[in-house]
Amino acid sequence: MRIRSPGRGDALLVVDVQKDFLSGGALAVPEGDAVIPPLNEAIRVFSQAGFPIFATRDWHPPDHCSFVQQGGLWPPHCVAGTSGAAFPKSLRLPAATVVISKADDPASEAYSGFAGTDLADLLSDRRVERVFVGGLATDYCVLQTVLDARAVDLDVIVLDDAVRAVDVESGDGARAIGRMRAAGAIFASARTALAEG
């Protein structure tokens, strides 16, 4: 299937590419660093064309419900204001990037970039109809963000070389991809999705 290259009405959505999810981080996603080169290419294309770029980030309070100390699944990670919550310098986000902080309510998981944020309104204000999505992790924040994007009738292109899964249970990533496809998301490599013409 041929994918129309980025144009007016499109936005790039970079999901949770934060230090704690990369190698050496508190909750490192296997091969998480591999998402950065294709995302940087997408960032370059969108930035040069003047198309909007959004970057979500976990911005947890220290007592967030997802942390094991509170009965959650995960070690403490991406605590607001800490170095682990920062975007890595290798991710070349331009100054105009719109940063969406999420999961800042201690009682709410908020895996999706749309959960408890104004992302849907900001996309609507910019007349965005299609989002290109990459980031971490396939089976959690990418999955929920894509499902919510489809729920508000956005077309979604997932950059399949710019996502990686946690795979807490073997096959979680593949199952997440199946769910996103079933919801209408299209998968393509960054090179294919960003191609001219």
DSSP output for 132-189: EEEEE-IIIIIHHHHHHHHHTT-EEEEEEEEEE---SSTTHHHHHHHHHHHTT-EEE-
Bridge partners of 136, per DSSP, are 164
Question: Token pair 């190698």 is at which residue?
Answer: 23
Choose the catalytic residue: 10, 20, 141, 161: 141
Order of strands across the sheet with 98-102? 98-102, 53-58, 10-15, 130-136, 155-164, 186-188
| Prior bond of 137 cis (ω within 30°) | yes
Q: What are phi and psi of 134, to 5 degrees?
A: -150, 165
**Is 19 tagged catalytic?**
no
Catalytic residue selected from 16, 33, 58, 161 = 16
Residue 102 known to be catalytic: yes
Crossing angle (nearest 10°) for helices 172-182 and 143-151: 10
Rounded Cα distance, 87 and 57, in Å:
8
Residues 20, 33, 58, 102: which is the catalytic one?
102
Show which residues are catalytic.
Answer: 16, 102, 141
